[in-house]
Structure 1
Amino acid sequence: MIRSIAIQDFLSMQEPVPLIDVRTPAEFAQGKVPGAFNIPIFTNDERVQVGTTYKQIGREQAILLGFDLTGNKWSGFIKQALEIAPGKKIALHCWRGGMRSGAMAWAFDLYGFEVYLISGGYKNYRRWALEQFKKSYPLTVLGGMTGSGKTRILQQLQAMGEQVIDLEALAQHQGSSYGTMNKMVQPTQEQFENNLALQLHLLNPERPVWVEDESLTIGKRCIPKTFWDQMRTACLFKVEVPLNHRITTLAQEYGELDKDFLVECTERIWKRLGPEQTRNAINAIRENRMEDFVSYVLAYYDKTYTTGLNKRKPESIISIRVNGKDIAADAASVLAAKHHSKN
């Protein structure tokens, strides 16, 4: 049986159903519904052939070509679907709920699958995702200078049962010129938005949501403006950690990275650091004086963070002194400050 279902109803189903995206590998790589599996009905080149035929000759000829191209693939499609959904209950979508997902749904139904066909396809998911950023969320922002341990405190808060949106984890970037840490690969902008939208959808709107203070961009990914505007007006809890501890922590973290990577990242911000500071920082990297290197670049990052902080209303900023050595204690201090701010 084939049932049409809206994307918001599918995402709210109590019993999870595997979702199959039948678009091409290239479309899937650009952006997908989080958790979806890809069984492409056409290869990238085949889709171009069918599309060209549709435009130049017509719909019926394009359909015939589609069947010619997929003629010996159908048993393979069904075998892949059985591996993903051995219970034979499955959901499908293509770009906008057209012929590709319709054909696949017909084949799966014929084999005996219970099929949910996403109305409007991936296009409707994208529309739904962008709508999530316009909603109001009970945000609480965790801020602090680079090296203050904000990400670790956020992770600890999550372990303590708090609701957390880790934007840097979603963006696969730690927010500075060195943010990929020479190992992380950022998702596409579209995928970043898709993942964020789903996490927002899963939140309890009656409970606080913690996010880290970020600029509008995280590496090459941009936080949706309507959501970022909410972050900028939310109450900010600024953790203050002694400078020497921040330098030591960052020196240990960056000291494990490839020196050529550090030099390349430092060169990218030379206009902001200035030629002398850039030269000094690169020399410190080459000579393995990591604490000196961190001190040079922190002067820039601290100034940048202070500039952004000054654009907030002073009454919306609450400072909390922590030692940075005991993350559990630091997280407890943050929660205590939030609780006190309500009274």
Structure 2
Amino acid sequence: MAWITQGIQDFLGLLEQGDSTVVDVRTPGEFRRGHIPGAVNIALFSDVQRAEVGTLYARGGRDEAVVRGLELVGPRLADLVRRAREVAGSGSLGVYCWRGGMRSASMAWLLETAGFPGVVQLSGGYKAFRHEVHRIFAKPWRFQVLGGYTGSGKTEILRCLAERGEQVLDLEGLAGHRGSSFGHIGMGSQPETEGFENLVWDTLRGFDESRRIWVEDESLRIGSVFVPRDVHNRMQECPMVIVTVDGEQRARRLVREYAGVSDEELHGAILKIQKRLGGLRTREALQALQSGDYLTAARITLEYYDRAYQNCMTRPRPGRVWELKPMEDDPRAAAAALSSGEYGGGETERED
């Protein structure tokens, strides 16, 4: 065997090499659920074919499954090599499957036979990578949680903090969702939870563990994905700073962010909260939306979100909480105060 096999730590070193390529040989469906960030999918089998081979393995044994797998892949060998040449860099080429078994070994043999230099197979496969993901999540990260009512500009403040050289974990950006019933609007499709976790891992692994990491206060669920349990639990244990912006400024920010994107989606989002907003206020919000009065619609929806946030903040929290004095809607100024640790002066400290 001319190719080499590496454990997860050495294999992940390939991601740091700009001239190396990592190939995921699992099915398109497996790849969509989650993959090593930066990997390229060159699937040996389709989802249907993998199910067929798996059924044969369970019922007829290994030999019958291997023969059927060769029948399916054999006619495509040249195409697989051509695809690998399209994506390969000048450096090493890493391959992995689910457990580091026959699929990745077969691809490694094919690529080595085709003349690719430095082919590396991941020992333990994607399963070993997922163990590494959860190992990283369990570390005692120094999160600094950023809280505040809806429309306070927390996402933009995080962006400004990153520009100032602070470490920032943007969970909503990675999730492709802003967290509320309106959170999907203008954000595109979300990854699956496993894929989201892999993106969180990819961000955390680049951080200095000795420094603080700014992260927005989130519930366990962001749209259709879930924040890793270890990360979320650690966030609850760490200090929080609440940014305070008055309701009118927050409503105007929501108008800037959502108005004109899709009235149909805004209409649907309002209907999602109608039970908590109440029938009368829901009708008034929808009428305002229909007439183009986005500011009134925003003011009404904030009634619900403000109540929800107030209820959330009454729950005991292990980490210390600081409340900033009321401030203008100025994310750059807020980021400067947060980065300096001054918190604007006159803040009140609250401990649960």
TM-score, with length taken from structure 2: 0.91
CA distance in structure 1 between the aligned counterparts of 2:275 and 2:329, rounded to whole angstroms? 34
The residue type equivalent to 2:70 in the other structure is F
Partner of 2:17: 15
Give 2:171's match in structure 1, choosing from 156, 167, 174. Answer: 167
**Which segments of 5 or more consecutive residues in structure 1 lack a partner in the other structure?**
none
| 1:254 CA drift (Å) | 2.1
Correspondences of 1:100-119 after superposition (within 5 Å): 100-113=103-116, 114-119=118-123
Conserved? CA contact 1:91–1:117, under 8 Å: yes
Alpha-carbon separation, structure 2, partners of 1:8 and 1:181: 38
Of the three residues 199, 205, 208, the one matched with 2:203 is 199
8 A Cα contact 1:322 1:330, kept in partner? no
Local SS of the residue matching 1:215? coil
**What residue number does 1:93 align with?**
96
Residues 1:328 and 2:329 aligned together: no
Preserved CA contact (<8 Å) 1:25 1:44: yes
Q: CA deviation at 1:117?
A: 0.6
Aligned-partner Cα distance in 2 for 1:315–1:234: 5
Indicate which of 215, 220, 223 corresponds to 2:224. 220
Letter in 1 for 2:218: E
Indicate conservation of the 8 Å contact 2:240/2:319, yes or no: no
Question: Which amino acid in the other structure matches residue 67 of structure 1?
Answer: L
Counterpart AA for 2:36: V
Q: Map Cα deviations across residues 287-324 of structure 1 (whole Å, 9 max, x no partner).
A: 22211111111111111112222224598122224644
For the Cα contact (< 8 Å) 2:153–2:329, is it kept in 1?
A: no
Residue 101 of structure 1, CA deviation: 0.6
| Equivalent residue number for residue 67 of structure 1 | 70
Partner of 1:306: 310
Identical-pair percentage: 37
Counting matched residue pairs gives 341
Deviation readout 1:34-82 (Å, 9 max, x if unpaired): 1110001112222122222222222112212211211221122112112
Is 3-12 or 283-292 further displaced after alignment?
3-12
Pair 1:246–1:276, CA change in 2 (3 A): same
Alpha-carbon separation, structure 2, partners of 1:321 and 1:175: 25
Determine if contact 1:129/1:194 at 8 Å carries over to the other structure.
yes
Alignment-derived partner of residue 60 in structure 2: 57
1:132 CA displacement? 2.0
Counterpart CA distance in 1 for 2:61 and 2:46 is: 20
Counterpart residue number, 1:135? 139
Question: Which secondary structure does the structure 2 equivalent of 1:95 belong to?
Answer: coil
Letter of the 2:38 counterpart:
G
Query: 1:28 — aligned with what?
Result: 31
Q: Is the 8 A contact 2:144 2:238 kept in 1?
A: yes
The residue type paired with residue 20 of structure 1 is V
Aligned-partner Cα distance in 2 for 1:70–1:256: 49
